[in-house]
Amino acid sequence: MDKPPFRSSEQESEGSSRLDAYIGSVESVQGSVVDVRCAHPPLLRHALRTAVGTATIQLEVQQELDSRRVRTLALGRTGGMRRGQPVFDTQAPVCLPVSSSVLGRLLDVFGTPLDGGAPVSAEQFLPLTGKPLSLNDTKPLSGILETGIKVIDLLCPFARGGKTGLFGGAGVGKTVLITEFMHAIVQLHHGANVFCGVGERIREGHELWHDMRDAGVMPHTLMVFGQMDEVPGVRFRVGLAGITYAEYLRDTLGGEVLFLMDNAFRFAQAGSEVSGLLGRMPATVGYQPTLLSEIAELEERICSTQRGSITSVQAVYVPADDMTDPAVVAILAHLDTSVILSREQAAQGIYPAVDPLASRSRLLDPAIVGTRHYRIATQVREHLARYKELEDVIAMLGIEALSAVDRKLVLRARRLQRYLSQPFAVVAASTGIAGASVPLEGTLADCEALLDGRYDDAPEAQCYMRGRLPGANP
């Protein structure tokens, strides 16, 4: 078993042998930025440690100022830190304790329990800033991952072993959708789940933890949180902590690991704060000049091997609903599927508020999903696109002004739009509607029936917020 790279205060009190080396002392403290004077500068990204009261604070080396000084980022609160206090070199990057016992736990960025349970029994310690796999060790996408969510399975299918982003502004349902997806995957597929809360609100994290326990999926789930009230360094590194645990579970359990992150934008936001604290010159729209490389460092570690696969779903906040924001564009470049949540859909009461015309998936190809699935998805998009074109005409002149062909198309499009709404199990207590999961084959059969006109005489309300259509074959 690997040794921990630093000595805790408990080990000190027990008189255990020193694992750290004295390296120097604190020269200055400016918020989360701590300058350290040392005889021999440590390596970049190595972790130093110092004490603040009874707590141990880790300092990650970010810059070498000169031959005797380094600038570090505190991964904890620096209140009470003073000049001249000793600093020790852990002689390794920040490391996490890992073992199969991490499943079912709620941890922070250092692997410390947040659930009030016993410390994690470490089989080994893995560095937070690991390296991506080489090309010959990776495995390509291995087909569709069914979710039971109709609009996603039909129009923007998720890739097994791929990366998916749920994009949307505030209040359009990103967290609800990612929670429902986690619930659906645990019910439909067997494997481990790693949920990473980056800058998560304490209330949301607490509710999600209890929801997972009530649903009975917590024994197969690890939750890692860097809460909203934490210092920027913790929020910046918690994403890497989550993917480190996901890599460990992939390589040891040898199965399918689902990695969920809420919210990837807050990772970029924390990086911007860190960059400003370190004195770097802002770049495009005020973001850090290292934005692209930081996002790539995280995203490129999400990959599959012959031993197992990691499927990633990330909620991404879109500031001011602007999809051209540099952070959003940088994240988009790494994804296989992009699910765009629309405020317009939410205003019409269509939940999940997925924009069927803006959402895209690399897997929606006849060579992958089959000609039938591709044909039905294309026809659904064509109907919805034509309905959107005619909305202004309908608003001004009424639907009676349309030709018979367009009128029939619009009425079918309205039924399709309502059919793609769906009640979710995770909000059943709030809505009073039981959640529904629909297999892909059922979704295709229902959409085919709607497109063929078999439900032209049915009320639109019969298509809204339900699973399968009434009278459909089970």
Q: Rounded to an integer, what is the distance from CA 244 to the centroid of its chain?
A: 14
Active-site residue, selected from the candidate residues 174, 237, 412, 415: 174
Enumerate residues 6+ apart whose C-beta is below 8 A from 187: 148, 437
What is the rounded (10 degree) CA torsion for 36, 40, 43, 48?
-40
Q: Using an 8 Å Cβ cutoff, are 464 and 418 in contact?
A: yes
Tokens of 129: 């800033």
Nearest to 207 by CA among 405, 427, 373: 427
Q: Helices 264-277 & 291-299, crossing angle to 10 degrees?
A: 140
CA angle 319–324–329, rounded 5-degree value: 95
Active-site residue, selected from the candidate residues 27, 146, 200, 256: 200
d(CA 389, CA 463): 22
E-strand ranges in 352-400 read 360-361
Q: Which residues of 35-60 are buried (b: 16+ CB within 10 A; e: fewer)?
A: bbbbeebbeeebbbbbbbeeebbbbb
Q: Is 201 a catalytic residue?
A: yes
Run of H or E residues at 346: helix 343-347
Enumerate residues 6+ apart whose C-beta is below 8 A from 355: 340, 341, 342, 344, 345
d(CA 144, CA 411): 31
How many helices and strands, by DSSP H and E, does the chain display?
Answer: 14, 20
Tokens of 446: 């229902």
Q: Is 64 a catalytic residue?
A: no
Residue 81 dihedral angles phi and psi, to the nearest 5°: -75, 145
d(CA 297, CA 111): 21
Three-state DSSP class for residue 85:
coil
d(CA 353, CA 420): 9
Tokens of 328: 């959003």
Tokens of 184: 């659906």
Q: Which residues are part of the catalytic machinery? A: 174, 200-201
